[in-house]
Amino acid sequence: MIPYGHQNIDQTDIKEVIKVLRSDWLTQGPKVFEFEKALAEYCGVKYAVAVNNGTAALHLAYLAAGLKAGDEVITAPNTFAATSNMLLTAGAKPVFCDIRLDTYNIDEAKIEKLISGKTRVIAPVDFSGQPCALDQIKKIAKKYKLTVVEDACHALGAKYKNKKIGSLSDMTVFSFHPVKSITTGEGGAVLTNSKKYCEKLKLLRNHGMYKDKYNKNVMIALGHNYRLADIQAALGVSQLKRLDSFIKKRRQVVEWYKRELRDVKEIILPEEIKDNYSAWHIYVIRTVNLKERDRLAEYLKNKGVAVNFHYPAVYAQPYYRKNGYKAVKLENEEIYQASCLTLPCYAGLTEKQVKFISGLIKKYFKIYKNKLFENKESRGLIMGERVYLRKLTPADASNDYCAWLNDKEVNKYLETRKCTLAELKKYLKEKSSKIDCLLVGIFDKKNDSHIGNIKLEPIDRREKKAVYGILIGDKNYWGKGIGEEATKLIIAHAFKKLGLTSLELGVISQNKKAVKLYKKLKFKIKKIEKRAINHNGVFYDKIIMSIKK
C-alpha cells in the first residue's frame, strides 16, 4: 500500500536520538531549548515554545490569547478538528467561515461580516501547506483589535510573500506529527514575537508553575503538562536541518502530478496562488462530479493507494451537529468536502509511484466512460428506423450545425445564443470529456446528415437518473416524428444500457406540442416551476416531467 503521507528518517536522525537516550536527560531539557532556538531562527521569529503535539500547541496559544467562556473565534471548517476542538476546550465558540475554492483556505472576504462584539481571535488554517491571505486577515484583526492564532500545522517551511510562515501572526502553531513537514514522533510548537505570549505559553505548558530562587515550584496559573521530551527534540533538531530539502522534494512530487494529471478533465488539481510558496503537506484533488469521489477512492484503495479525505467539514462532525452546529452549511465548504480526495504526497514518494497513481486515475475514468457509453453491438451507434444516434465529438462542429443553433426559430426555447464555429468546437470538447454528460447527435440514416441533438446531463449514477433534453435543429425534419423516434431510442438506451431508472426533463409551458408528445411517451408531470425560464426578458413556466423504468 502506498500511504498518503510518510516520515523521512535517516541514520543521522537515529544517531541523534540515541545520543539523548544515552545522556542523563530525557524529558524537557537542553535539546528542547536547542530545538526551540533553531526553529525560531529558521522561521525568523523571536520565540518558539515546543510542546508535545500540535493540539496542545493550539490549546496553549488560545489560552495565551486570553480566550475564555463566551468568546467567539472565527476559524475555517476545512481543518483537522483539533483547530476548533481546542477552542471548545478553552471555553470559546468557533464561528465557521466559508472557504475559497482555489486554495481551500478561509475566505478572507467573508470574515468581517462574522465579527461580533464577542469575537476575540481569528484562527486561520494554512490548509495543505498553502498560506492564507495573511495580510488581509491581519488588517481585519488590527481594525477590530483581534488576535491572530494561525494554525500552520501543515505549513512549516511555507512562505507568504517570500516570508517564512511562523513569523507573520501573533502566534503560529506547528505540528510535528510523522506526516508533517518534519517530525518529532509527536510534537508541536507555538511561535511568536511577543515576550508576553512566550512567557505565558512556557508557564502553561508546565502546570502553570515556575521555579523561585530556591528552586521551589510556584504555581500561579492552572496549567498542563504539555512538555516535549529531549528524545523527541533531538529528532526535531536533526530533521529541521533537512526541512528545506523535504519541501523541495514535496514540490517535485506536485510537479510530477501536474504533468501526469493536467489533461484529466474529470478532476481539479490544487493550485498554488501567486503570493504563496506551499509546503505541500498534502496533495488534494477534487472530482468534478461530486458523486464520483467515493468510487474513485475505493478504486484507488483496491489498487493499493491509501488515499484519504482532508477534511470532512468540522461543523458536520456528529459531535458538532449535536452541540450547536446542527444547521451550519457553508456553500463552498459543502462542495469541497464532497469532492476532495488526498493523494499520496511526501518527500520519499518516487516519480514511478506518482506515474502509477496517476495512471490508475486515468484508467479509472476511461473504464468508467466506456462502461457508461459504449454500445458494443452497434459499434457506438444507436440505430432507429429513420435515424441513428451517436456520441458527438469536437469534429462534429460544422457550419450547418452552427447555422441551425443560431436560427431564432430553432433556438426559440433555448437560451438565445450566437454561436461561432470555434465556440461550438469548445462546447463539444467540454461535453464529450465530461463524465456526467452524454451528448448524442441525431443523424438521418439516409444521408448521414446531423439533424439534432439529445443530451443527458447531469447523469447521476448513484441515484440512477438523468436530465434529458432534445433539439431538432434541421427545420426540414420538424413535424415528422423524428423527436419521438429519437426520444424512444434514448429512453431505451438509458434504461437498458446505462442502468438508469428515471429520466427527467423540463419543457417550457408554451410548447404544448412537446408536452403532448412526452405524455404520449409516458412521461408524467412532476411539478411546474413558475416563471423559471427567462427568454429575452419574458418569464415562462417550466413543466418538469419524468419517466420511470
Ligand X SMILES: Cc1ncc(COP(=O)(O)O)c(C=O)c1O
Work out whether 227 is an interface residue with ligand X (CB under 6 A).
no
Nearer to ligand X, 188 or 483 (CB): 188
Q: How far is the CB of 9 from ligand X (least distance, A)?
A: 17
Beta carbon of residue 300, minimum distance to ligand X (angstroms, whole number): 21
Pick the piece of the chain touching ligand X (CB under 6 A) from 76-84, 114-122, 221-229, 529-537: 76-84
Cβ closer to ligand X: 190 or 405? 190
Q: Does 172 bind ligand X (CB under 6 A)?
A: no
From residue 270, alpha-carbon distances to 69, 141, 274, 281 in Å are 37, 28, 13, 12
**From 82, 314, 361, 508, residue interacting with ligand X (rule: CB under 6 A):** 82
Give the residue with the Cβ less far from ligand X, 83 or 238: 83
CB-based contact 288:267 (threshold 8 Å): yes
Give the residue with the Cβ less far from ligand X, 168 or 442: 168
Q: Is residue 55 close enough to count as binding ligand X by CB under 6 A?
A: yes
Interface region with ligand X, contact rule CB under 6 A, candidates 77-85, 283-291, 394-402, 516-524: 77-85
- Inter-residue long-range contacts of 520-524, CB under 8 Å, 24+ positions, other chains counted: 520/484, 521/484, 521/487, 521/488, 521/491, 521/547, 522/547, 523/547
* 59 touching ligand X, by CB under 6 A: no
- Least CB distance from residue 176 to ligand X, whole Å? 7
Query: Which residue is associated with the grid cell 456520441?
Result: 391
The SS3 call for residue 106 is strand
How does DSSP assign 196-230, residue by residue?
HHHHHHHHHHBTTEEE-TTS-EEE-S---B-PPPH
The span of 54-62, 358-366, 469-477, 537-545 binding ligand X (CB under 6 A) equals 54-62
Q: Which is nearer to ligand X, 176 or 443 (CB)?
A: 176
> Where does this chain touch ligand X (CB under 6 A) — which range of 38-46, 48-56, 374-382, 437-445?
48-56
Residues present in the chain in total: 549
Q: Residue 31 or 154: which CB sits closer to ligand X?
A: 154
C-alpha cell at 65: 490569547
Looking at 292-346, which runs of residues are DSSP E strands?
Answer: 340-343
Give the contact letters, 176-215, x = binds to ligand X (CB under 6 A), - = no: -x----------x---------------------------
Question: What residues numbered 145-164 form the site for ligand X, per CB under 6 A?
Answer: 151, 153-154
Using CB under 6 A, pick the residue from 128, 175, 238, 453 that binds ligand X. 175
Nearest to 66 by CA among 43, 91, 84: 91
Grid coordinates standing for 232?
A: 523527541
Answer whether the bond into residue 518 is a cis peptide, omega within 30°. Answer: no
Neighbours of 269 (CB within 10 A): 15
Residue number, 5 or 384, with CB nearest to ligand X: 5
Total site size for ligand X, rule CB under 6 A = 15
53 contacts ligand X (rule: CB under 6 A): yes
Minimum gap (Å) between residue 56 Cβ and ligand X: 7
Cβ atoms of 311 and 75 within 8 Å: the answer is no
Q: Is there binding between residue 54 and ligand X (CB under 6 A)?
A: yes
Nearer to ligand X, 185 or 380 (CB): 185
Nearer to ligand X by C-beta: 43 or 156? 156
How many CB atoms are located within 10 Å of the residue 102 CB?
13
Query: CB count, 10 Å around CB of 98?
Result: 21
Q: Taking CB under 6 A as the rule, does residue 292 contact ligand X?
A: no
In sequence order, the 6+-apart residues with CB closer than 8 A to the CB of 302 are none
Query: What DSSP letter does each residue of 274-294 carry, written as one string?
Result: TTEE---S-EEEEESSGGGHH
The packing angle between helices 243-261 and 351-373, to 10°, is 30
- Contact between 166 and ligand X (CB under 6 A)? no
Chain contacts with ligand X (rule: CB under 6 A): 53-55, 58, 79-80, 82-83, 125, 151, 153-154, 175, 177, 188
